[in-house]
Amino acid sequence: MVIVVLEADAVGSDVSYEGVSKYGEARLYNSTPHNLIAERIKDADIVIANKCLMNEETLKGADKLKLIAEAATGYNNIDTEYCRKKGIAVSNISGYSTDSVAQHTFAMLLSLNNKLSYYSEFVNSKEYSNGSSFCNVSNVFHDLTGKTLGILGLGNIGKKVAEIAVAFGMRIIYYSVSGNKQDVPYECVDFDTFLSESDYISINAPLNDKTRGIINYSALKKMKKSCILINVARGAVVVEADIVRALNEGIIAAAGIDVYEKEPLLGDSPYLTIQDKDRLLLTPHVAWGSFEARKRCVEEGIMNIEAFLNGEMRNRIV
């Protein structure tokens, strides 16, 4: 049995896929450009993929392929209908990065809320050393206690974010794009109320037809001017140019962005044109990537392979 790992580097060089060799011949590639996908998987029985496109173009020559083990929760890189037609099973991984993403959400929120970039520069520039006061509170920040956190997408990650927010003494509201209310101790509100009442907004929703571009200029104008927006979900849930416009015009206070419509971030991205860099915190799609989460990602993927070989329907999409 041939098991091909197309993007081993996606989980970092400190986490190994060598464990898959227990189940067959392991062919590990650190990364795979699109034009080499078909060649590398043509003899594969199992493929572990992350961002590589798995569609008719790349799969049509892989006659032995039995399973695509997606090394992520999202699987929009896989043409599931084509796989179903060809009898190729598809599995994914869920829950492995919940703690990491929720933690990163609050790392961004706290950094922006407490103006850490400004105050760090104040000290490092020696302006603090050259001053006469023991402190500097010129850049105002606020307690989280008593403030309202709006969560867009109350799945596993959204619920973990809410749990952390409660520990800070925050009020939680959420907007359900599907319209389904959940059995949770938080208030489900309509979209306009969600936008207007939130002091902070955490986007944890998947990307689909209902969420694509849902945070646009019109929505941003309904937010509080003091609102801090965090997006660790999918880049296209927000309209990137509108986020920058809103920040430049003072419509919202700040934004923390970890995900982008095009990844890696394009050199001419609107985000890189921001006027006040202290109001926009950018990270390179790293929220999911604590060491523990990356290790779980590999372990869960291997367990999916073992389950498939044992005839079990573990984390199966197709």
Positions annotated as catalytic residues are 234, 263, 285
DSSP secondary-structure letter at 207?
P
Q: Is 316 helix (H, G, I), strand (E, B) or coil?
A: strand
**Token pair for residue 139?**
């850049």
Phi and psi for 187 in degrees, rounded to 5? Answer: -85, 125
Burial class (CB in 10 A: 0-12, 13-18, 19+), 5: buried
103-to-13, 52, 242, 289 alpha-carbon distances in Å: 22, 27, 26, 11
Distance (Å, whole) CA 229 – CA 201: 5
Strands 148-152 and 171-175: parallel
Closest residue by Cα to residue 231 from 207, 256, 206: 256
Half-sphere CA count of 258, side-chain side, radius 13 A? 22
**Token pair for residue 196?**
């207007």
Q: Is the peptide bond prior to 264 cis by the omega test (within 30 degrees of 0)?
A: yes
Q: Which residues make beta-bridge pairs with 231?
A: 203, 257
Instruction: Give first-to-last CA distance, the chain, whole Å.
Output: 21
Long-range contacts of 25-29 (CB under 8 A, 24+ apart): 25/1, 27/2, 27/3, 29/4, 29/5
